[in-house]
A = this chain, B = another copy of it.
């Protein structure tokens, strides 16, 4: 029935109805960087996808795209001016290449609205074409202005998760822990975390059966996060991980799906960050090195290099 609901977690999800079967093992639906790992078939693209795409491009690719677009657009208009006839522009005719370059420069001067006037339209038609080109130029740069602002103002969550999570003995039991650090110098406000565990196991019918659990955390919401936060799930009798030994955990066919949210002061907005861990990444009998340092004057130090530093633990 629930072909898809299996990927999302309600608060209490020991409900076996949530698990489902397949004849195949399944990848995480979240990539390590928090983006989606779904293969889309027959998806209809919309214009809004273009905006989203241009927003997600790297800066290098974005600037390259703008430059290439600029050159192509000018070449296109240069050819139009040549087609109208170079006598419609006020420059001395030469070879085709010279004419093209002059037309290209005129086009560039028009589309950027520089308009030196050393080359200018002398005919009516070239005048009208160059008027429209200036309009195209202004619209394009309006568009780019919006894109640049969109790129900058898009809130970027500033979370780094520890590369691996650990399982160690803790307060007489075992605990699963991972760590996250604030990448910015601002203080995270009201951070909140939710951890979902999925385990895939072969049942008697040799089918892969998936179960989902929301892990109970020692603390899932705090007021401020200026530095690092260690997330702790106690593997007590109520934990779905209780029945597995440390060695079994390493070979567990499962994932941790993490949803982290907080108010990001730099963008004055609530932001979300997803993350996933494979159980292969677990380190047992290991603990994170204490990350608390103080300067001589008593100022708290956040050493970002300590995030992944671990040490043996019994």
User: Which residues does A use to contact B, with CB under 8 Å?
Assistant: 1-5, 7-10, 20, 22, 24-27, 29-30, 35-44, 46-49, 51-52, 55, 59, 63, 66-67, 70, 74, 90, 98, 101-102, 104-105, 108-110, 112-118, 120-122, 124, 127-128, 130-131, 134-135, 137-139, 141-150, 152-156, 158, 170, 183-187, 189-191, 194, 196, 219, 221-230, 232, 257, 259, 263, 265-269, 271-272, 274, 290-295, 297-305
Contacts and interface: CB of A to CB of B under 8 A. Distances in A.
Contacts of A25: 298
Most B CB contacts (10 A, CB to CB) among A1, A74, A141, A229 go to A1
A295 B29 CA distance: 12
Given A121-B118, A189-B272, A226 B36 contact: yes
Contacts of A170: 1
Contact of A302 (B24, B39, B228, B232): B39
A134 B114 contact: yes
B7 A224 contact: yes
30 contacts: A1-B230, A3-B230, A8-B229, A9-B223, A9-B224, A24-B294, A24-B298, A26-B298, A27-B298, A27-B300, A30-B187, A35-B186, A40-B301, A40-B302, A41-B305, A46-B156, A48-B152, A48-B156, A66-B135, A98-B124, A101-B128, A105-B121, A116-B121, A138-B144, A142-B145, A143-B148, A150-B153, A196-B223, A224-B274, A265-B272
